[in-house]
Structure 1
Amino acid sequence: MLLVWWTPITGEALSLLALFLIGGTLSLIGHSAGGWLARVYMEEFGVSQISLLLTLGTPHLPPPKGMSGVIDQTRGLLDYVEKNCSKAVYTPQLKYVCIAGRYIQGARLFGNSNVNANAAVPIEDDLQISEVAVVKDMNNSTPNSPTFRARFIGQGYKQVCGQADVWGDGVVPEASAHLEGALNVTLDGVYHSPVGSDDVSRPWYGSPAVVEQWVYHLLS
């Protein structure tokens, strides 16, 4: 199992880093699966030297069971995390900050959803890096007829949360990236991965203008 080798290696690395701390604490940042792997590390090695866990587009919640067409892509790992890891908190001693991207709304595979899959998400940014973060598909679809792209992405969302016609970052649904008890933040127009992204028309969590929207949590 992935966790068998991952947590000892990470624990050794962070233990070495902690040697350089003099009365300080560590902040952990995890993107996608890295967020719940960080939670496993915190559970197994403790949080005495950790003051912040910040996750970016992490699918925290296990997919629903017994739903037709839904296959647990993590093979039970998220069930393990939910059952064995501590609940999220937001206290002066330890802060969980869960950041989701709201890039595109998915659609059901068959039938029409109440979705305008071509709707653009404006980016409110002083740098004006882009007018929109979701580029309209140039085809003959109408607002009541979801595009193939929205249906395809919707099937990915369904594997994660059981619903296709929800908003997300193109991979992880918005609701799945948030945790009860954490400070939950949604950033408009943010795509999940650096693969297929760019800093102008499709920024991801690591794009400079997006980093500016969450990096202050490391300094507070």
Structure 2
Amino acid sequence: MTLPTIIVPGYLESAIAYRPLEISLQQLGFPTLTVPLRRRDWIPTIGGRPITPILQQLDQTVKQALQEYNATQVNLIGHSAGGWISRIYLGEQPYGTNIWNAHPLVATLITLGTPHTSQERWTRKNLDFVNLNYPGAFYPSVRYVCVAGKTIFGERRRGGWLAYSSYQLTCGQGNTWGDGITPIAAAHLAGAENLVIEGVRHSPRSPGIWYGSPEKFPIWGQFLV
């Protein structure tokens, strides 16, 4: 049976950016929904505040998919922050006033360019919670697939400054490879099936090829079967 798939957008991103990927997945036979986020939905989470509003919409979308497709489990595709947000959703520890405990509902979690670690003080509030309570590929019943991009080497020179600064803020080292935003070192988890794809940029709004482009999707899409 092909399980329904839920796409979880990255930080400050709206669902519309993932529509091409959603359509591609549907055409390949994967029933797919994207958490229907708008950019303004992220405003309450700015500054390291709890991402509870996003988790609530994720939970509603999962329940919708389970009912619509008469399924008992889903697959999650978390892009960027959507990956570590999904890890909170899987968990059974209280997050604020909520306990999501969704790991029995998730067969596979695929993260695309997710910064699973960060040195940035606001992001660390949430990521420290995730990594303290659910380190690595935490739930044996869930298949974790973590995809990193090897596209831009961070350097202190023209063309490499943005990547350098982002990598340094994320993993503490600027001179390394990544997708232009997330370094490889931060995009992988201990115990997961960790992949590196060359030539992909971080965001669906980036020029050129990103993780969800038709040229690269088959590399990680196989894990949805």
- TM-score normalised by the chain length of structure 1: 0.70
Deviation for aligned residue 1:35:
0.4
Deviation at 1:22, TM superposition (A): 4.2
Which has the bigger relative contact order, CA under 8 A and spacing at least 6?
A: 1
Call closer, same or farther: CA 1:89–1:41 in 2, change over 3 Å.
closer
Residues 106 and 14 (structure 1), Cα distance of their counterparts in 2 relative to 1, 3 Å cut: same
In structure 1, C-alpha distance between the alignment counterparts of 2:52 and 2:224, rounded to whole Å:
29
Return closer, same or farther for 1:53/1:15 CA change in 2, 3 Å cut-off.
Answer: same
RMSD: 2.0
Report the counterpart of residue 60 of structure 1 in structure 2: 116
Give unpaired runs (5+ residues) of structure 2.
Answer: 1-48, 92-99
1:80 paired with 2:136, answer no
Determine whether 1:102 maps to 2:150.
yes
- Determine which structure has more spread, i.e. the larger CA radius of gyration: 1
What displacement does 1:50 show?
Answer: 1.1
Q: Secondary structure at the match of 2:115?
A: coil
Offset at residue 5 of structure 1 (A): 1.9
In the alignment, which of 206, 210, 216 is matched to residue 196 of structure 1?
A: 206
Tell me what 1:51 maps to: 107
Contact 2:118 2:124 in 1 (8 A): no
* Residues 7, 90 of structure 1: alpha-carbon distance in 2 compared, 3 angstrom cutoff: closer
Segments of structure 1 that go 5 or more residues without pairing to the other structure are 64-70, 110-146
Distance 1:79 1:149 in 2: 31
Which residue pairs with 1:38 in the alignment? Answer: 86
Q: Secondary structure at the match of 1:41?
A: helix
Quote the Cα distance in structure 1 between the aligned partners of 2:175 and 2:135: 30
Does structure 1 conserve the Cα–Cα contact (< 8 Å) formed by 2:184 and 2:196? yes
User: 1:158-177 maps to which residues of 2 (within 5 A)?
Assistant: 158-177=168-187
1:168 Cα offset (Å) = 0.3
Checking the alignment, whether the CA contact within 8 Å between 1:153 and 1:170 is kept in structure 2 is yes
Partner of 2:188: 178
1:169 deviation in Å? 0.3
* CA shift for structure 1 position 86: 5.3
| Paired residue secondary structure (1:27) | strand
Change (3 A) 1:196 1:87: closer
Q: Is the alpha carbon distance of 1:160 and 1:73 closer, same or farther for their aligned partners in structure 2, counting shifts above 3 Å?
A: farther
SS at match of 2:51: helix
Whether the aligned pair in 1 keeps the contact of 2:88 and 2:130 (CA below 8 Å) is yes
Q: Which residue of structure 2 lines up, in the alignment, with residue 29 of structure 1?
A: 77
Deviations 1:116-153 (A, max 9, x none): xxxxxxxxxxxxxxxxxxxxxxxxxxxxxxx3212332
Q: 1:28 to 1:182 in 2, by over 3 A?
A: same
Deviation at 1:195, TM superposition (A): 2.2
Taking the aligned partners of 1:14 and 1:60, their CA distance within structure 2 comes to 22
Residues 13 and 195 of structure 1: is their aligned pair in 2 closer, same or farther, counting only changes over 3 Å? Answer: closer
How many percent identity over aligned positions?
A: 36
How far does residue 173 in structure 1 lie from its aligned partner after superposition?
A: 0.3
Paired residues of 2:115 and 2:170 also in contact (CA < 8 A): yes
Alignment-derived partner of residue 218 in structure 1? 224
CA distance in 2, matches of 1:90, 1:45: 11
- Residue 157 (1) aligns with residue 157 (2): no
Distance 1:73 1:153, change over 3 A: farther
Deviation at 1:162, TM superposition (A): 0.4
Runs of 4 or more, structure 1, over 6 Å off, are none
Report the number of matched residues: 169
